[in-house]
Structure 1
Amino acid sequence: MRAVAELEERRSQPREALVADLRKPDGDILALGADGKLGPGLVRLALRGVAAAETGAYPAEIAGRTATSKTDDPLGQALEEQA
């Protein structure tokens, strides 16, 4: 890894097993603590996995983002990248 961005990019690429698992649930995915140290990467991974699963699902809403409503927050950036 040459940079943090490269590491984050590789860590957020879903493997086929995750994509297959994300095809199974019939409901929402909730990421608690999504604005913590690992949260933005986890959200990015989940969004990419859901997109790769091609289920037609999409990020419907982000609830309770009082502490992360700024445009420069990592979670917001992760979501905007996948929009």
Structure 2
Amino acid sequence: MDLTLADFVLFVVLGSFALVPFFAVISRTLHNRVEKRSLANRVICRLCLHAFEDTSHVRTVDCPVCGATNEKGRSRKLG
């Protein structure tokens, strides 16, 4: 089978149409993973409302601004 210029261009165009959505899905998935990890490390002080990130694995952390003890994670009760 001989590959003509028209066939080659058609294969390149169709290949790029297939690869662009594939790379977009992978990029979006990686971005969401990084965003979730960042949100999991974010703590908002219950006293002064200062937002900071803490990457340690302890359950309670101290606010760097006011020194109040804050609980990490979703189990923290609001109010």
Q: TM-score range by the shorter chain?
A: under 0.3
TM-score by length of 1: 0.23
More strand by share: 2
Larger radius of gyration: 2
* TM-score using structure 2 length: 0.24
Higher RCO (C-alpha under 8 Å, 6+ residues apart): 1
